[in-house]
Structure 1
Amino acid sequence: MSQPPHTDPSASGSARPVNARGAVDLSSLAGTPAASSQSQPSSQGQGGEGRDTWCVSAQPQQLQQLVQLSAQAPVLVLLHGADETSARFRSTLEDAVDAQGGRILLAAIDVAASPELAQQAGQLPVVTAFLAGQPIGEFDASAPVEQLPQVVTQILQLATQNGVTATLPPQGKRGGGEGPEQEPEMPPLHRKAHEALEAGDYEGAVAAYEQAIKEKPDDEEAKLGLAQVRLMQRTQDVDLAAVRQRAAENPDDVQAQMAVADVDVLGGHVEDAFTRLVRFIQAHPGPDRETARKHLVELYSIVGDSDPRVAASRKKLASALF
């Protein structure tokens, strides 16, 4: 992923990339009115009809302020034009961000008044995610619009892991009146899982998701959430250097290879993780092969079947098995 334009020098450095391809179709409401425009992010809600919003219009010179704000909660900076894809990106992200009630902020910057910024941005729209003062990921028009809400979820999970869990006050109001209905409330067990994650209670999140699946076996969002929490559990407090060294020294140890695949997926090195496990499966017939296969399939579910890297790896897995 490329570096975002006009970043604050103090925000540079090593950052954990975010997987920008989600796994579940959480399509937002179509045609939702855009958030009210403001000259800058504000801590005071604006008057007027409608519901609270955490989506603002910003100016290029305010990027440093937005980066600093990401120390409290994740910030998505959307550089957009007047094209249809930009409008869809903004509308979908507004719905996804506002559904989180202040746990994440969206700042939309129209590059029409800044040709230099438009040139640096390249393909529009482009979104850069900031967390704790650092750019942690970037995705553009090549990302499926319907999966953007899942990206928001993944960024929030990463924020929780890093202790960035503040709730921001509303930044304004979204238009009311005869517009589309509000997005449905999050299912109670899903909300319980999210609250457990915010508190660092992985066991509680697992229990909530498992109960949701028990009550509704076809709850794909709960299944994805469960797989993601289990990944977070497995990688909690791991020593990356030690994990990689163990795998290098023990190429026939399935647990060692799966551990590296986990940290690679969490760090955004999806293809490396898939390749590692496919090669292990190809070279190791017997019980370890099935263990590695099941683990790989779980990682597929986290990344998402619509991701081209998953489709490519599935073909390689089929060749390795047969």
Structure 2
Amino acid sequence: MGLNLDEQKAVDRFRKAVAEPSMTQLVILDFWAEWCGPCKALTPVLEKVAAEYADKGVVLAKVNVDEEQFIASQFQVRSIPTVYAIFQGQPVADLTNARTESQLKSMLDQILAKLPVQPGGEPEQDLAPLIAMGEDALAGGDGERAAGIFMQILDMAPDNAEVLSGLIRSFVAAGRLEEADQVLDSLGEPLSSDPQVDRARKALALAKDKPEDSELAALRAAAAERPADMDAQLAFAGAAFAAGERDTAAETLLRMIAFDREWNEGAAKAKLLQIFEAIGLEDPWVSATRRKLSTVLFG
């Protein structure tokens, strides 16, 4: 993830103290330091209000900027005290200017009225927003960020097939194929045969076909020189998709289907459907390409 050991430890501490509790509760995150006079004046206010609002799902977390410089830098803390409201891992409000009990309570009341904060206990996590966040990162082509999101979710739901599928596909998108293999190999039944996991398995299988640049160039040239050579077209389409050129791959396969949809027992259509399954049938690109396929098949 590009972090050194100390930074990774800082992230782990933050995840346990702030990110994980914020999945269901509202975390008041206070950046402070021992030498900060205004911080010492604000601390009793924060502690008192957090205690009074505990039954509404509010908790207080404190970050010493001298001890956690990396975390402070990630939040771009320029002065202290700096206070944020955190929900589901994201800042939802800046509470820094709330210096009195009444100001802080007023802001908290407004926030709590808008968010599905769950007071007390440890209720079942609502993973849908977090999974959506990971899928959005994947759709945007940021495999590394998506992997980081899915790894955090996996800590909360280690046996969730949808999360495991997201993590494997994130590793594939980031080019971390060995790690994707390791996750797949670690799964037993029934997870291994779950449709979500099978989707990730297909994505990994397609990615393993990624050719060297010189090989891709040769396949591209062969396909261009021999447009009627279906074997050359199919080989190029598979290599192009594995190399990240999914538009080119789809266009090639659609031309093949239009030319001879029955060739090799419908191999071109089968390859395109395999690509659809690997990406996900709900993906906007897949939906658009399926419409193109319907036009080719049914006019």
TM-score class, shorter-chain normalisation, is 0.3 to 0.5
TM-score by length of 1: 0.41
Q: Which has the higher contact order (CA 8 A, sep 6+)?
A: 1
Higher helix share: 2
TM-score by length of 2: 0.44
The structure having more radius of gyration, on CA atoms, is 2
